[in-house]
Amino acid sequence: MPNTYDEELYKLWRTAYQSGDPRRALALAIAGYLIASEDHDDMREEVFLGLIRQSVTAPNPLPRERVGLVDLRCSFCGRDGTEAQLVAGAAANICSQCVVQIGETMKHK
């Protein structure tokens, strides 16, 4: 019997994991494991155990290159990693198009 919590939990887990929040990811993975365990579903238990392992061993914060491209956005124009090449900073990101634009602006000053 498919469990509707699984997909939802996995999506939440992936978001937490990719945004560099392994503690939240771990909590979600444990929740998934407990639900699977309650259902006596060994296969799903294994899946969530894998996610628990991955959460525990995740570097904190995750290296920038492991953050999903779509989750990152240019802080200036809002483009994501699928629309332009992004450079991630500590508090802000910038895309290749904005770098060019700022470069042009600076040249004319």
For Zn ion, the binding residues (CB under 5 A) are 74, 76-77, 79, 95, 98
> In terms of CB distance, is 29 or 86 closer to Zn ion?
86
Identity of the residue, 28 or 72, whose beta carbon is nearer to Zn ion in the bound complex: 72
For the four alpha carbons of 98, 103, 107 and 109, in that order, the dihedral sign comes to: positive
Nearer to Zn ion, 10 or 76 (CB): 76
Closest distance between Zn ion and the C-beta of residue 45, in Å? 44
Smallest distance, Å, CB 63 to Zn ion? Answer: 22
For 59, phi then psi, to 5°, come to -70, 150
87 contact partners, CB below 8 Å, separation of at least 6: 93, 94, 95, 96, 99
